[in-house]
Amino acid sequence: MTDLANQIITGLSIASILLLVSLGLAIIYGVMGVINLAHGDFLMLGAYAVWLMESALGLGFLPCLVMVFFIVGAIGWLVERTLIRHLYGRPLDTILATWGIGIILQQAIRLSAGAQLRYVKMPDYLVNPLHLLGLDISAYRLLIFSVTIVLVAVTYILIFHTSFGIRLRAVMQNAEIARCFGINNARIYSLTFAYGAGLAGLAGALVSPLKSVSPDMGTNYVVDAFLVVVSGGVQSLFGTVASAGIIGELSGGFAYFWNDTLARALLFFLVVVLIRFRPQGIFAMPLRRG
């Protein structure tokens, strides 16, 4: 019984990190149709921003998180304004352009902060595990889990219960008609991109004390994020949440019964099969595209 409970918790904590790193991508890819290969590098920027603020300015971890969201969001906004907006409707070109941005960001960090691993301190009160219901649960993983839930809720409210969200969904469904109704598409796009980038930065900042910080850390995460978004169904927030949960539990389970190497291979295999037979993902939303 304890084993099963432990296993479910392990799966959930993997799932919460997956969801955290894919949320920003889901927004940018789902809403704007931009395949953002620089997503992992926005994540990396977030981790470095936290490292810099902690080590140079001596700020605490939690205040850093808020600032990281805005810093990386601003960088995302800048990237959208100067480059991405010229490439809407040209998916292949955006792939190449965002990949290039990723390389530029990586090398910029390598040149300025150095190539070595960087140390982001875990807050002292989160280092030791909590005893809940007879189980040892990592306090830091619990923090990640809660922040992820909050972020999903905020994103949900933003999309479905604000006037910005209404305009966003209008642009998603048909950009031309939305413009006829006086919606400023360009502004919606750049804010959405900035929000997605900000979420990526926040994700990077949150995983940095549990994992490691290096210029090429983004590469692994961007693969995970695409895995989640594609199998969950593009344009579906619920799909992303559900598929992060399923992938997290599956990879935890596979890794438990066999090992992590095999778990990863199996997971990729399952996703390939899924896409072959259901290219729109598990939870695709029926949507008219303009």
Partner 1 sequence: MNRRSLLKGAMGLGAAGAAGFPHIWIKSADMAYAAGGEIKIGILYSLTGTTAIIETSLNHATLMAIDEINAAGGVHGKKLVPVVEDPESDPATFAQKARKLVLSDRCVSVFGSYTSASRKAVLPVFEKYNNLYWYPTLYEGRECSQNVIYTGAVPNQQQKEFVPWLVKNFGKRFYLIGSNYIYPKEENNVCKILLKQLGGEVVGEEYVPLGHSEFSSVIQKFQDTKPNVIFSTVVGDSVVALHRQYKAAGLDPAKMPMASLTTSEEEIAAMGGEFAAGHFTSAPYFMSYDSPENKKFVESYQKRWGADKVTNFVSEPAYFQVHLFAKAAAKLGASDLHPAEIRKAAWGETVQAPEGLVKIDPDNSHTYLWPKIGEAQANGQFKIIEQSKEWVKPLPYWAYEGEVCTPTGMMEKKS
Spatial separation of the C-alpha atoms in residues 71 and 59, rounded to whole Å: 15
Q: 175 in helix, strand or coil?
A: helix
Q: Are 64 and 46 in contact (CB under 8 A)?
A: no
174 makes contact with partner 1 (CB under 8 A) = no
Give, for 136, the enclosing helix (H) or strand (E).
Answer: strand 135-137
Question: Binding pattern to partner 1, positions 16-55, x when CB under 8 A?
Answer: -x--------------------------------------
Spatial separation of the C-alpha atoms in residues 263 and 257, rounded to whole Å: 9
Question: Binding pattern to partner 1, positions 249-268, x when CB under 8 A?
Answer: --xx--xx--xxx-xx----
Cα R_g (the chain), whole angstroms: 19
Question: Binding pattern to partner 1, positions 74-113, x when CB under 8 A?
Answer: ---------------------------------x--x---
CB of 225 to partner 1, least distance (A): 14
Q: Binding partner 1 by CB under 8 A: which of 5, 112, 212, 287?
A: 212
Q: 235 in helix, strand or coil?
A: coil
125 makes contact with partner 1 (CB under 8 A) = no
Region binding partner 1 by CB under 8 A among candidate stretches 26-34, 148-156, 216-224, 272-280 = 216-224
CB of 35 to partner 1, least distance (A): 22
Spatial separation of the C-alpha atoms in residues 19 and 123, rounded to whole Å: 22
Q: 280 in helix, strand or coil?
A: coil
Q: Which is nearer to partner 1, 61 or 189 (CB)?
A: 61
Region binding partner 1 by CB under 8 A among candidate stretches 9-17, 71-79, 172-180, 188-196 = 9-17
Q: Report DSSP state, residue 56.
A: I
Spatial separation of the C-alpha atoms in residues 290 and 13, rounded to whole Å: 38
Q: 234 in helix, strand or coil?
A: coil
Residues of the shown chain interacting with partner 1 in the complex, contacts defined by CB under 8 A: 3, 6-7, 10, 13-14, 17, 107, 110, 114-119, 121-122, 126-129, 136, 138-141, 209-214, 216-217, 219-220, 251-252, 255-256, 259-261, 263-264
